[in-house]
A and B are shown apart, each in its own frame.
Chain A
Amino acid sequence: MQHNGFKSSNRIVQWIEYRLPIFSFLDQQVGTQYQAPKNLNYLWNFGSLAGIALIIQIVTGIVLAMHYVPHGDMAFDSVERIMRDVNYGWLIRYIHANGASMFFAAVYIHIFRGLYYGSYKFPRELLWMLGLVIFVLMMATAFMGYVLPWGQMSYWAATVITNLFSAIPWAGQSLTEWLWGGFVVGTPTLTRFYSLHYLIPFVIAGLVILHIWALHVHKSNNPLGVEVKGPKDTIAFHPYYTIKDLFSLGIFLAIFGFWVFYFPNYLGHPDNYIPANPLQTPPHIVPEWYLLPFYAILRAIPSKLGGVIAMGASLAILFLVPWLDTSRIRSGTFRPIFKQFYWLLVADVLVLGYVGSQPPEGIFIHLGRIATAYYFVHFLLILPIVGWLERPKPIPSSISESEAGTTQEASGRSETGT
C-alpha cells in the first residue's frame, strides 16, 4: 500500500494509515520525506532540545501535581513531603526545578541563533513572533511555578512582581488586589498561580505546533542564510537530522543529569527553603537566573511605571526585529560589522543578567542603566543603520555551491541593493 509516497508492509500500520494517514503525515513532516538544508550546524539542534525540555516539564509537572497541595499553610510542607516521602519524589522535583533552567538555556541559545543567522527575516517573521510568544509565556509559567513551593523567595518574588501592576495609573491598586484575590499575596494568589502554571504549558505546546507548522512552510534557515535552491541543497530529515538531534539530546541530558544528581540546588536560592513569612522581607529578592536581564531592565528606571514600561518594551522590541534589521543578508557570517555588534549585544545581555543578580546600589545602578540603554540602542539604532551602511561579504549562490568552495561576487552584491 502506498499513500503520499509512504510505504509500509506492516498490516496494522496499513490499517491505520488507510483510515487516518498519520504515518505518511509524520514521514512528510519529520521523516524521510521532509527535506532540510544539508548544512545546518549544531546550533540548529536547540529547537528540538527545547521541545523535549517542554515535554519533560509537562510530564514531571503532572506527577508533582498529584502530591502538591496549593494552600498557603500546606504548600511548603507538601513539597517537603514530595522530597522525603514520595517514592523518587526528590528526583521528580529536582528534574522539574532544574528542567526549567535547561529549558531556558536551550531557548536562549535558540533565540540568539536566530538573531545571528537572521532567521527572523522574510519569510519567517511570523515563525519568529510565535517563538517570542512562546518565550514570554515561558517566563510567566516559570515565574508562577517558582511561587508554588511557597518559600521566602516564592512569596516575596510574587509580592514584588504583582506589585508592579499597582504602577498602572488610576486602576493599578484595584487591579493588583484583583490579581491577589485579597489585600496581600496569600492562598487565593497561590491557587490561581497554580491553576495558570498548569494551564500555560499546554498553551505553549499548542503554540509550538503552530511554530513548527510555520517552520515547515518555508523550511529552516541555515548558516549561510541563502534559500534552498533545489534538491542538491537538502537532505532528508530522517535519518540525518533525527540521529543528529538524538546525539545532541544525549549531551543535553548528561548536562541536565549533572545538575539534578550533583548540584540540584545550585541554581536555586537557599531562602526558598525557608517557609514563606509575610512579616519578614529577605535582604535581597532575586528572581531565577533566566529572568535576571529583564529584572535588571525593570530596576534600571527610577520610577516603577517607567521600569514596567521598559521591561515590556525590551520584550516588545524583539517582535519588531524583522523590520528593524534593514539588511537583506540573513546570515551574520557575511556581515562583518553586524557580527561585532551582535557579540556586543550578547555581552550586554550578560552584563544585564549580572546586574540583575546584584543589589541595586553603587556602581550597579549606573551599569544597569548603561546596559539597558545600550540594549535599546542596539535594536533601535544600530540594527537599522548597520543594515543600511554595511558592505556585506560576497555570499554563495547556493548551499551546494558553497560546499564546492565557490562563491559568486556578483550575486552577493546584487542582494545588498547597493
Chain B
Amino acid sequence: MCSLTDILTKVSRRAVGLGATLIVIVLGASIASPSIATESAKYEKRSWSFYGVLGTYDRASLQRGLQVYTEVCAACHGLKRVAFRNLLDLGFTEEEAKAIAASYDVSDGPNEEGDMYMRPGRLSDYFVSPFPNDNAARASNNGSLPPDLSLITKARTGGPDYLYSLLTGYSDPPEGESLLEGMSYNSAFPGHQIAMPPPLVSDAVIYIDGTNATIPQMSQDITQFLSWAAESKLEERKRLGLKVMIFLIILTGLLYAVKRRVWSGLH
C-alpha cells in the first residue's frame, strides 16, 4: 500500500512535469509559427491619436479624411450608417454640415401624387451609397463587392492598422507571382490579390487646409475618418471610462479599508 502510494506520487510528479513541458512546447511552437494559413491579413502596428486612456480623434485629420472619402472612396463604397448630423462631431459648424448634406441628392416620398422624388440632403439624412444595391455594385466592379465602410475598422482583424496597411500596401507582385484578371497585388490583403484597384495616387485630392496629399498622408486621414465612422462614441466612452475607473478604484480602496477594520474586530 505504502509503496503504491509512493509510486503514485512519483507518477503524478512526472505527469505534471510532462504536462507542463508539453504546454510550453505547444505554445512556443504556435507563437514561433503564427500562421499556418497563408491567407491571413498582414498589418504593421502604428500608434493612433485615438489610442490610449484619453485618446481622441484628430479633428483636422478627420476633416481631411472626409474629403478623401467623398472625393475618392465614395465612388465605390457606401457609408450608410453615418448621418450628416454626425459631421458636427468632426468640428464642422451646423452651417457647414448642412451644406455638405445639401450637396447630396436624397430620395424621398411618396409625395401627394404618390411619386418618389429627389431633394437635397438634410442633417437627418444618411450618406447616400453609390449603388442602389449589391448587384449593381458588383456589376460595376468586375463582380467584386466594395463593402460599406461604416464599420470597416471594427470588422477587420487589425482595425485601423490593417486599413492603413491595405491602402499603403499596393505594389507590383513579387517575381513569379501572376495576378488574376482585374486584380491588384496588395501585401496586406489576405491572399494578396485584391479586386480594388489602387484607390490612392499622390495628389488624388487637393486638401482644403493645404496639407500635402501624399499616399501615406491620405491613408492616415481616411483611417482616422473611418475609425471615427465605426466608433463615433470612442471619446465619450474614454472620458466616462476614466471617471468610472477613478471612482471604482477609490471606492475599492475604501471598501478594503472598511473590510480591514471590520475584520480586525475578530478575536
Contact = CB atoms under 8 A, between A and B. Distances in A.
Contact of B8 (A244, A247, A386): A386
A271 interface: yes
A341 B12 contact: yes
A258 B81 contact: no
A259 to B, nearest CB: 10
A247 B256 contact: yes
A261 B240 contact: yes
Contact of B23 (A262, A283, A351, A418): A351
A344 interface: yes
A389 B156 contact: no
Contacts of A367: 26
**Which secondary structure dominates where chain B touches chain A?**
helix
Contact of A239 (B156, B244, B262): B262
B266 interface: yes
Contacts, number: 125
A362 interface: yes
A260 B241 contact: yes
Interface stretch (A56-64, A83-91, A107-115, A179-187): A83-91
A340 B23 contact: no
Contact of A418 (B1, B13, B266): B1
Interface string A341-371: 1011001101100100011011100010000
A251 interface: yes
A246 interface: yes
Contacts of B156: 270
Given A336-B9, A337-B12, A38 B251 contact: no
B88 to A, nearest CB: 14
A100 to B, nearest CB: 18
B237 A247 contact: no
A140 to B, nearest CB: 27
A90 B239 CA distance: 14
A277 B248 CA distance: 41
A243 interface: yes
Interface in B57-103: 81, 86
B33 to A, nearest CB: 10
B240 A80 contact: no
Contact of A271 (B155, B233, B238): B155
Contacts of B20: 347
A273 interface: yes
Q: How large is the interface on A (under 10, 10 to 19, 20 to 34, 35 or more residues)?
A: 35 or more
A151 to B, nearest CB: 9
Interface of A is mostly: helix
B116 interface: no
Contacts of B140: none
A418 B1 CA distance: 9
A270 B155 contact: yes
Interface in B137-187: 147, 150-151, 154-157, 159
A390 interface: yes
Contact of B244 (A251, A261, A358): A261
Contacts of B159: 270
Contacts of A343: 16
A344 B16 contact: yes
Given A250-B255, A350-B23, A84 B241 contact: no
A235 interface: yes
Contacts of B259: 243-244, 246-247
A247 B252 contact: yes
Contacts of B266: 38, 235, 240
Given A270-B156, A341-B12, A390-B5, A246 B255 contact: yes
B257 to A, nearest CB: 9
Interface in A61-83: 80, 83
Contacts of A361: 36
B15 A254 contact: no
Interface in A317-337: 336-337
A375 B240 CA distance: 44
B151 A251 contact: no
A80 B154 contact: no
A20 interface: no
Q: Which 7 pairs show the lowest CB-CB distances between chains A and B?
A: A261-B241, A250-B252, A273-B155, A247-B255, A273-B154, A254-B248, A340-B12
27 contacts: A80-B81, A80-B150, A84-B86, A84-B233, A243-B258, A243-B259, A244-B259, A244-B263, A246-B259, A247-B255, A254-B245, A257-B248, A262-B238, A264-B237, A270-B157, A273-B154, A273-B155, A274-B151, A340-B12, A340-B15, A341-B16, A347-B23, A354-B27, A358-B30, A359-B37, A389-B5, A390-B5
